[in-house]
Amino acid sequence: MSDAALSLIILGVTVALFVINRLPVGVVAIASALALYFSGLVSVESMTSGLGATVIVFIAALFVVSEGLEAAGITAWVGHTMNRIAGTTRMRVLASIMVLGALLSALITVNGAAAALVPVTVAIARHAGMLPSRVLIPLAYGCSAGSLLTLSGSPVNVIVDEAMVDESGNGFGYFEFAAVGIPLVLVTVAITALIGERALPRRESTALPDDFSDYLGTVTEYYGLDDRIYRLHVGPESSLIGMSVRDLRTDDSPVHAVAAQRAQGATVLDSAQPLAEGDAVVVSGPGPDVESLARDHGLTVEDVAGRHGRAGRLIDRDLGLSEVVIPPRSEWIGNRVFAGMVRGEDGLLVLSVRRRNRDIGPRVVDLAEGDTLLVHGPWRAVDALSADRQVLVVASSEQVRRQTVPLGRTAPRAALILVAMIVLLATGVVPAVVAALLAAVAMILSGVITSEHAYRAVSWPTLVLIAALIPMSTAITDSGGAELVARPIVDLVSDHSPYVLLVALFLLTAILGQFISNAATVLIVIPIALAAAAEVGVDARPILMLVCVAGAASVLTPIATPANMIVMAPGGYRFGDYWRLGVPVMFGWLVVAMLVIPAVWPLSG
């Protein structure tokens, strides 16, 4: 058996295992690489070459850049903005996501756009009450279409441009691709809007972060923050100086004095201890009565439940919330607490205390195992609770901040880094992978994210899957398997109408691109296509543009492009979920290519 035939058999078995979906896709991909090695089709260096491939490094760097954008609140800001634009209707949501993906893909490549927009897309879907699986495949397809808006949108575009320069000495213009790219984006959006309801799967994903988009509303309702607690600050002229909390407690007053704290160290005072300047008295009751009490005694009122930063909310770029539970054997057990107190250790304000799922009300208690506290204060102190082994944090403060605080303090730095990366990608001053690595390092050095966050941001299963499939592309190319399939098809139509040749080349390129990288596919097809074009008498420019469009039409399988792979885990997709929408989209692309390319780039030179 020839090496070409053997490589195609291994490819067929790999695809079959993907479709059957009985084994993890990563295991199948690694097994296929091992099969290629043991069959002698690739060396051990080729089998592991994917781990160091440029595309792997590029995608890893883009994951870090995406993490920086999310940590800085830019992702949340884009999500909130898109929520207003997209609304909650299915068609508006799909159109907004796909157009956004297409525009960003034109700037930072198809894979970069997919990596950056997955969290935004998930947030938009949740706001609209849609499963993420209903919008993530459209995101990937919109990014693929948008890659044909500019020269830098995809490596395939660059390969085709270089081939055109070699052929005629005159390549394609930077925005020349948009002549076919804009119709492709419109057709892709239209097809998805029309048949997406039936073609897109309903999948639940276990790879998504918790949804904290309505966290503040949920917490306010659960902890009853509408029941006001107030801190009354004792000033130098206050009549309470020398008096005690016990003196404020009267049976006929609607204001209930809970407890008091010293200004220094936030020590809880005994009810009989005299108050001094700077102390704070915590009370509960109707707002007008509290204000009247404050006026009578020269006190300054701080509304605890309504405590807010400059943005007028309990959560903003400076201040946040955290729910903590007291676990067994915690050193917090026995500490005196009450709603409205400020902890001396970290300056966090206690908004509410619950025991056995009930609010304890305005009174002082000693903490017990299982108690829950809602605390409020600077994000630095809130984040520190995650590292405190004496409490269990209910919700990740990092995720809460990222989903609820648009444009944090590091947003300007992150935005500047993103713009710089886009400029480098668009101008080609440095290779794309270098531009992405520079941006990733800048995110860390500028303090937008930490190195630990950067490591966590990389989707290692996605990278391993892509890296394990790269040897397959190498084996099929080097063994002649791709040409074994391509040559007879082109020979069959080479003596027919130029339009027949265009259709054949489109189908050949698109089908090969579903199983090996579209860059490798285009490299294989270009010399065959140019030879066939010369025989039929067709100009090279429309032929190469058609190959470029077909190379981007990798929409039938998750292994067709890294963008398809990036959305697989967040969408909870299976191997066979892509073709249902992919086939109509690919047919739409074929129609656009046949109508637009000959009109813009005449077939006869």
pLDDT digit string, tens, across residues 91-118: 899 999 999 999 888 877 788 788 778 8
Same structural domain for residues 194 and 278?
no
Same structural domain for residues 172 and 47?
yes
- Domain assignment of residue 437, yes or no: no
The Cα-based distances of 143 to 114, 179, 591 in angstroms read 7, 17, 19
- Domain assignment of residue 413, yes or no: no
Residue 327: which CATH number?
A: 3.30.70.1450
Same structural domain for residues 181 and 254?
no
Same structural domain for residues 277 and 184?
no
Whether pLDDT at 311 is above 50: no
Same structural domain for residues 253 and 110?
no
Residue 309: the pLDDT is 40
Q: How many CA atoms lie within 13 A of 252 on its CB side?
A: 0
- Domain assignment of residue 436, yes or no: no
CA distance 188 to 148: 12
| Residue-number span of the structural domain to which 261 is assigned | 229-303
Same structural domain for residues 293 and 332?
no
- Domain assignment of residue 408, yes or no: no
CA distance 287 to 123: 37
Residue 259 parent element (H or E): strand 256-261
Note the pLDDT tens digit of each residue in 587-598.
999 999 999 999
Same structural domain for residues 291 and 167?
no
- Domain assignment of residue 169, yes or no: yes
- Domain assignment of residue 359, yes or no: yes
pLDDT confidence band for 165 (50 / 70 / 90) = confident
Same structural domain for residues 90 and 19?
yes
Q: At what angle do helices 411-427 and 432-445 cross, to 10 degrees?
A: 170
pTM of the model: 0.70
Same structural domain for residues 102 and 184?
yes
Whether pLDDT at 263 is above 70: yes
Last residue of a domain, one of 303, 333, 354: 303
CA distance 468 to 597: 36
Same structural domain for residues 192 and 246?
no
- Domain assignment of residue 309, yes or no: no
pLDDT confidence band for 312 (50 / 70 / 90) = very low
Identify the CA nearest to 564 among candidates 75, 137, 117. 137
Note the pLDDT tens digit of each residue in 193-223.
999 889 999 988 766 767 777 787 788 788 8
Same structural domain for residues 49 and 81?
yes
Residue 31 parent element (H or E): helix 25-38
Last residue of a domain, one of 394, 425, 446: 394
Note the pLDDT tens digit of each residue in 528-548.
788 777 777 788 899 999 999
Total structural domains in the chain?
Answer: 3
- Domain assignment of residue 415, yes or no: no
Share of the chain above pLDDT 70, in %: 94
Same structural domain for residues 174 and 263?
no
pLDDT confidence band for 486 (50 / 70 / 90) = low
Last residue of a domain, one of 345, 379, 394: 394
